[in-house]
Amino acid sequence: METFEVFRRSGHKEPFEHCGTVSAPDAEMALLEAKECFTRRREGQHLWVVKRSDIHSFKDESLLEIAADKSYRFAEAYRDVVTKRSQARSRGRALPEKARSST
Amino acid sequence: MTYEDKLARFNAHIDGGGKVEASDFMPDDYRRGVLKFIEMHANSEIMGALPERECLPQAPTLLRKMSLAAKIQDEVGHAQLLYRVAEDLGKSRSAMYEDLLAGKSKFHNVFHYPVQHWGDVAIIGWLIDGAALVTQAALLDSSYAPYTRVLKRICSEEQLHLRHGEHITLMLASGTESQRDLFQDALSRWWLPIIHFFGPRSNVEKDLLLRWKVKTRTNEDLRQEFLDRYVPKVLELGFMFPSPVPVESTGHWIVKDQDIDWAPLEAVKKNRGPETTRRLAARRDVYDRHRWVREVLAAPFTYAA
Amino acid sequence: MSDSLAALLTALADDELIIGHRHSEWTGFAPHIEEDVAFSSIAQDEIGHAAAYYTRLSQLGHASDADRLALGKDTVDYRNAIICERPNGDWSYTLARHWLYDAADSVRLEALESSADHELAALATKMRREERYHLLHADTWMKRVAAGPVEGRTLLITSLGSAFAESAGLFEPIVEEEAAIEAGWLPAPSHELRARFLARTAESLEDWGLPAEVHAGLDRSAEFVASSSGDLIAGRDRPGKDSPVASHGALGGRRGHHSEDFKSLWDDMTSTYRSNPGAAW
């Protein structure tokens, strides 16, 4: 017997999500089992099973932590855009008329 | 079931708002059309990394250096996502890459143009990414489901890029005269290519991608949304548009068809833009010199424990 | 304000900035698309580390802000090792340098965790977490290329030769090194760090079945002499095929002597900053 990890997807717009494991001799049997174990209440329109032994992970998952400041990868880093916008607009308004309108 | 029956059933499925997965039946024209469309999108992301990459070494602060690198990294990441989706339609990533290098496939017009200075980074990050976001958000409901799933992530990253681009723009706009000149100069060079970006008017009758809801809106519709959204913002900052100058009319910012010079777009479509050859050659050069890396990655290898 | 602490921080920051700058030049061009994304993060990390060191330096009253310390100085005021400023060459040189740089940086950060400057010690602890990933990344590639097809393996060996030769620059004593050691800012002298670096890298080479001779270039270039112009010229360089190593030696970076490669890098890197003195960006 092998352990299979089970993934299901509720619709076309969603990604597959892990929902549990089943014990089965092969993938064919694992699918049959997973169907009733994990989608019998219509939780999924799509189903995958993957042998656990085919899944790999880092030995040390603390590698996945972001150690130093990476705030620039997030929208919050640009929160001051509102203040900057009003500063830049007043600067724009202060320009001589001929430089402002092109229409 | 005959092919005709399958086709009729497929059309009905699409008309009813149905979605298509890679393993589902699809007409050959649908497969070809979607593949070509996503392939061009992927090509555009990887080629789109280059203009900004050319500005990256000159980033004026450490934070801008990191955030611009991160932004270009996202674009390369988008190419990675899109090439994988396209690959599942039956063309290998290496075949797509080689077609790109050979000039056999296309990428978006704006990435055929040169960059000159930091003002270009503002334009690309704000207006070009703004234009891209308008077109990509319209694809979120595309009939090809694997595409919409990656677009969800792409659009959320593009939102961030837009902030990043607007932030750079605002710093230039409220900065010294020469900083303002950087933006104005870049705007003057990029405005026409940005108008071209959306393409000429769609031919609704003939466009199979519209028929099959791979695309959901026409080119002119998307361009209009972009103009209405961005023209006032640019004017508020006191910058001027070159030709084709947008004019306000009945609550919209209009660019008249007859004011648009389409000749540069025609050249770009034939891969004869100002920077097409140089950028493709630079990519080809790196590609050719690194065949050995592809061989390393393809070679069987077992890691010692 | 201690001059020797400032000298140490400047060398650390400039190394990180310049190697990060070079790494970032692969963005959009790396020979494998997933690797392009991965390597960009490493570039960003190094620039981030530079920013942290410069910020510490500015806290010490050295200059107004980190950007000025990074971009607002003349070429002779940079204290990075020359190996950091070399052009990327091909992927084999980039990989060899990435591995050696991160191996050296790990040794350095390990030592700095017990620096008498507690801020610096805390930074070292934080950075070591990212360095573990950098080294794992480099090791994984090195192993694979070393055990892979002959063309890649041969290129890697050649590139390792020239990168090893220039890695001596990473352990060139900083100015006022004695004072920095005396004060405890730098917990171990550069020659000692270098010995640890050599021992560790030699072990990896053996594990991966790479020839120990790639070390040879290092010993030779470490015997540097002052030229008539006052520049420090390494005894000999071993440029290989596709190797970006020019005529200038490995040493001198810590005293502000740089290669021709650095001049063009600096022109490019500081051009926007210089175009509008004092402007906000």
Give the C-alpha separation, A84 to B105, whole Å: 41
CA dihedral B92, B97, B101, B103 (to 10 degrees): 60
What are the boundaries of each domain within chain C?
Answer: 3-275
Digit-by-digit pLDDT tens for chain B (305 residues) are: 899 999 999 999 999 999 999 999 999 999 999 999 999 999 999 999 999 999 999 999 999 999 999 999 999 999 999 999 999 999 999 999 999 999 999 999 999 999 999 999 999 999 999 999 999 999 999 999 999 999 999 999 999 999 999 999 999 999 999 999 999 999 999 999 999 999 999 998 899 999 999 999 999 999 999 999 999 999 999 999 999 999 999 999 999 999 999 999 999 999 999 999 999 999 999 999 999 999 999 998 765 54
Task: Say whether A67 and C129 touch across the interface (CB within 8 A).
Answer: yes
pTM for the predicted model, two decimal places: 0.92
Q: At what angle do helices C118-146 and B291-298 cross, to 10 degrees?
A: 80
- The DSSP H or E segment spanning C225 is strand C225-226
- Pair of tokens at residue A77: 């880093």
Instruction: Please say whether the beta carbons of C172 and C81 come within 8 A.
Output: yes
Check whether C230 has a pLDDT greater than 60: no
Domain ranges (residues) in chain A: 2-54, 67-94
Contacts by A87-94, CB closer than 8 A, 24 or more apart? A87/B170, A87/B174, A88/B169, A88/B170, A88/B173, A88/B174, A88/B237, A89/B236, A89/B237, A91/B173, A91/B174, A91/B237, A91/B238, A92/B173, A92/B235, A92/B236, A92/B237, A92/B238, A92/B239, A93/B238
Comparing CA positions, the residue from B127, B200, B181, B201 lying closest to residue B158 is B127
| A74, A75, A91: residue with CB nearest B238 | A91
**Chain A residues near residue B164 by CB distance under 8 angstroms:** 72, 78
Say if B289 is an interface residue toward chain C (CB within 8 Å): yes
| Residue-wise pLDDT tens digits, C176-186 | 999 999 999 99
CB contact A93 to B (< 8 Å):
yes
Q: What does the H/E/C string look like for chain A?
A: CEEEEEEEECCCCCCCEEEEEEEECCHHHHHHHHHHHHCCCCCCCEEEEEEHHHCCCCCCHHHHCCCCCCHHHCHHHHCCHHHHHHHHHHHHHCCCHHHHCCC
Alpha-carbon separation of residue C238 from C166, C195, C205 (angstroms): 10, 21, 19
Peptide bond into A25 cis (omega under 30): no
Q: Return phi, psi of residue B265, to 5°.
A: -70, -40
Min Cα–Cα distance to chain B from A53, Å:
16
List, as one string, the DSSP characters of B14-39: HHTT--B-TTS---HHHHHHHHHHHH
Longest dimension (CA), chain B: 70
The domains found in chain B, sorted by start residue, are 3-298 (1.20.1260.10)
| Minimum distance, in Å, between the CA of residue A80 and any CA atom of chain B | 8
Chain B residues in contact with C147 by the CB 8 A cut-off are 301
The CATH number that domain A2-54 falls under is 3.10.20.520
- Contact at CB, A92 and B173, closer than 8 angstroms: yes
ipTM of the complex: 0.95
Task: Answer whether B84's CB lies under 8 Å from B97's CB.
Answer: no
> Any CB–CB contact under 8 A between A71 and chain B?
no
How is domain C3-275 classified at the CATH fold level?
Answer: Ferritin (1.20.1260)
Shortest Cα distance from B152 to chain C (angstroms)?
Answer: 19
Question: Could you tell me the two tokens for B230?
Answer: 């961005």
